[in-house]
Amino acid sequence: MKIKEIIVVEGKDDTTAIQRAVDADTIETNGSAINEVTLQKIRLAQETRGVIIFTDPDYPGEKIRKIVAQNVPGCKHAFIRKQDALDKKNKKVGVEHARIDVIRAALLEVQQEMIEIKEEIGWDELIYLGLIAGEKAKSRREKLGILLKIGYTNGKQLYKRLMMFQIPREQFEQAIKQVLQEEIK
């Protein structure tokens, strides 16, 4: 499987894992200390071939994703679940620990960030549906993130990603309906 876009990853081990799974070029951020030189490379990559941000499903990975997305508009995003990136032996999370089929699936299901953003689903609606506050909010967001392929989020990130990826109302309603029905079972 050949990937046209350049994939932004955190480090060398992530590059190795990506290249085992697909034929792709990467740019390594070397962790969350992203410097201007790296951001310039990513901007050039976005202009010429496009960029897919594929960081670890943890706090530092989300921080890197946010920095890159803020500085390089219009990126695509690939997500994997924490349990699919877990090294059970060392209790570490990272793209480098994901199986080849998980990496390929994430790259087949990338989400395109939209530059012109309109609000499809409002903050009040997310609260009403129990996605922002309440005892089931975290598990609902986790399930919703899997169904919508936008990764795990806290409440604020969910709102931003729904807008950033312009998730259609119909798709959102279908996914939340499934999440709520699974709770009843």
DSSP 66-118: HHHHHHSTT-EE----GGGGEETTTTEE-GGGS-HHHHHHHHHT-EEPPSS--
3-state DSSP assignment of residue 8: strand
- Please check whether residue 1 lies inside any domain of the structure: no
Q: Are 80 and 103 in contact, with CB atoms under 8 Å apart?
A: yes
Q: How many domains does the chain have?
A: 2
Checking if the pLDDT of 109 tops 80, the result is yes
Split at pLDDT 50, 70, 90, the class of 116 is low
Give me the sign of the Cα torsion angle 62, 68, 71, 76: negative
| Residue 124 tokens, joined | 């009040």
Number of H helices, E strands in the chain: 8, 7
Which of 86, 112, 138 is at the close of a domain? 112
The per-residue pLDDT for range 118-143, each reduced to its tens digit, is: 778 999 999 999 999 889 999 999 99
By residue range, what is the domain housing residue 28?
Answer: 6-112
The answer on 94 and 14 residing in a single domain is yes
The per-residue pLDDT for range 136-173, each reduced to its tens digit, is: 999 999 999 999 999 889 999 999 899 888 899 999 99
**pTM: predicted TM-score of the whole model, two decimal places:** 0.76
The answer on 75 and 158 residing in a single domain is no
The answer on 161 and 99 residing in a single domain is no
The CA distance from 97 to 64, in Å, is 18
Which of 81, 112, 143 is at the close of a domain? 112
